[in-house]
A and B are shown apart, each in its own frame.
Chain A
Amino acid sequence: MKFRGKIIDVACLNHFTRKSHICSKTLTKTCVLRLTPDNLFFILSEKVANGGVSMWCELAQANFFDEYQMEGVTQEDNEICLEVAPENLARALKTLQNAKALKVKLTKKHCPCLTIPTLSTVSRVVMHDVPVDVIPRKLWHEFKEPHMPNFDVSIYLPPLKTLKNVVDRMKNLSNFLVLEANMSGEMNLKIETDLVSVTTHFKDLGNPPWGEDGSQRDSDAMAQARLDVRRLQQFLMGQQVNPTKALCNLVHQRLVHLILLHEDVSLQYFIPTVA
């Protein structure tokens, strides 16, 4: 099992820092980094049954790395699966803001580590050893790409910054929020407490075409999901860069599936409903 990568292009480097921030800014203690010859995946898989969220973030390595070499566990299973604390990774990448180049390599130090030497603008090497746990093959099945749920409504999201502002304020007022949307491009966020009820109406959002349109659904009928506001905040946190596409699939009273597509990164996020 070997892995090393190198980014020398400053534009790529900034790009990578930004994108890995998107992945690392989640509130969870650990996430899984899966390396394949073509892609890097950041995966979060809490048990949906326990109200946990799951996340699937895919980066095409060629868009970031100037050099990228890996040897997986075996020839057939040419992959590496690591458990890593996003907080540590974020810290190592934080100092990148004024760096010139970056390397990532899998090393064995006091424990298995992702060793990340960065070259600062004053040509100083700063070395970070981020401890990782190597995940054995028998557990890999937990980190496969999630299935697209059989959704009732699929809709494009409004600008994420607006969404974030609204959700942040709603969080001040209530712990739970109802997200509803229909196939006429309308989406509402609602909260209701003893003191206040607030509804934000988004319209003309558009509904993505998913091919066969055989559903008999009334286009004005709302699909609803009641969510823990913090889960939605978690998703919106660190989304400073507007994605090329952002959409939301709703399974009525069951699940919200959020997808962000940047040119070379895709992020999927699953939030279960609460009663």
Chain B
Amino acid sequence: LNMPLSTQSQTDDEFYVFVATLDNARNLSNLLKAIAFKDHAIFTATPNGLKVTVEDSKCMQANAFIQADIFQEFTIKDDLVGFQVNLTVLLDCLNIFGGSTVPGVSTALRMCYVGYGYPLTLFLEEGGVVTVCKINTQEPEEPIDFEFCSSNVTNKVILQSESLKDAFSELDMTSEVLQITMSPAQPYFRLSTFGNSGNAHYDYPKDSDMMELFQCTKTQTNRYKMSLLKPSTKALALSCKVSVRTDNRGFLSLQYLVRNDDGQICFVEYYCCPDEEGEEE
């Protein structure tokens, strides 16, 4: 709100197609950390807000959504503004002052983009010190459309993240796949690994107090590459609830509800294709 830079950059504003400001840069950087498993990140800004997409080997996609009203200022001159930046670099810039978690100390951010061929410019300020970053941008690639639509969802559960954190933190990484079973009957919701020393199953009963919603219509067992799902642990760690859905093709959607420093709600979503080699047990 009291951004010392706002006055000096006001005059430039007319050149920018996209300007967004945040009193606390952590509200952006934390969400981006939850999807930071590859360098390339596609930014898509619309009047509704900002979507940042990261993909891995055409089989997995992660999206972070920050609605427009999370930002103190969110100005966009087109219906859609898109560009691609290096996410690791962006995160280092956003945390240039250390990303302090001390209450009352925060980094203010102003993020501006002129358009194709121009860098993404960040103005960051903390304690009167100002950092200006110009991050080179590229033309955005088209994000993969996983065609995951809610009308095709076969099974859905919503769990408190706490209960999954435990499981994900001790997953047997010698297992190439994570198998997810969802069923209206026993075992209801099961995570399985098949590692060097043996197999393991984690069973969540449908009446567990960790289970906020249980809507399974058909028994489905699908395997997903562990290497693709492991990065979602970062999102899980930040979140308070997670919705696990599978559609009729066995595609997986993990939606994480994340509460930021100011108590506002944002979402991180992971999509993953089923592993074709793995067959049902």
Contact = CB atoms under 8 A, between A and B. Distances in A.
Q: Do A and B have CB atoms closer than 8 angstroms in the complex?
A: yes
Interface of A: 158-159, 161-162, 165-166, 168-170, 172-173, 194-204
Contacts of A161: 98
A196 B129 contact: no
Contacts of B132: 198-199, 201
A170 B92 CA distance: 8
A160 to B, nearest CB: 12
A158 B128 CA distance: 11
Interface residues of B, number: 20
Contacts of B128: 203-204
B260 interface: no
Closest 8 A-B residue pairs measured CB to CB? A165-B98, A200-B131, A198-B133, A172-B92, A196-B135, A169-B96, A201-B130, A197-B134
B86 interface: yes
A162 B133 contact: no
Q: Which of B93, B131, B133 has the most CB of A within 10 A?
A: B131
Interface string B129-151: 11111111000000000000000
B198 interface: no
B97 interface: yes
Given A169-B96, A196-B89, A196-B93, A162 B129 contact: yes
Given A165-B97, A165-B98, A172-B92, A200 B130 contact: yes
Contacts, number: 61
Nearest to A198: B133
Contacts of B95: 169
A120 to B, nearest CB: 33
A158 B127 CA distance: 11
A162 B93 contact: no
A197 B96 contact: no
Contacts of B130: 200-201
Contact of A195 (B96, B98, B129, B136): B136
B136 A166 contact: no
Chain A binding surface, main DSSP class: mixed
A201 B92 contact: no
Contact of B96 (A159, A194, A198, A204): A198
B89 A202 contact: no
Nearest to B124: A200
B129 A201 contact: yes
Contacts of A196: 86, 89, 93, 133-136
A196 B85 CA distance: 10
A190 B92 CA distance: 14
Given A158-B129, A195-B89, A196-B89, A165 B134 contact: no
B277 to A, nearest CB: 37
A42 B131 CA distance: 35
Contact of B97 (A162, A199, A201): A162
A194 B134 CA distance: 11
B129 A197 contact: no
A162 B136 CA distance: 25
A176 to B, nearest CB: 16
Nearest to B97: A165
Contacts of B89: 173, 195-196
B131 A165 contact: no
A200 B96 contact: yes
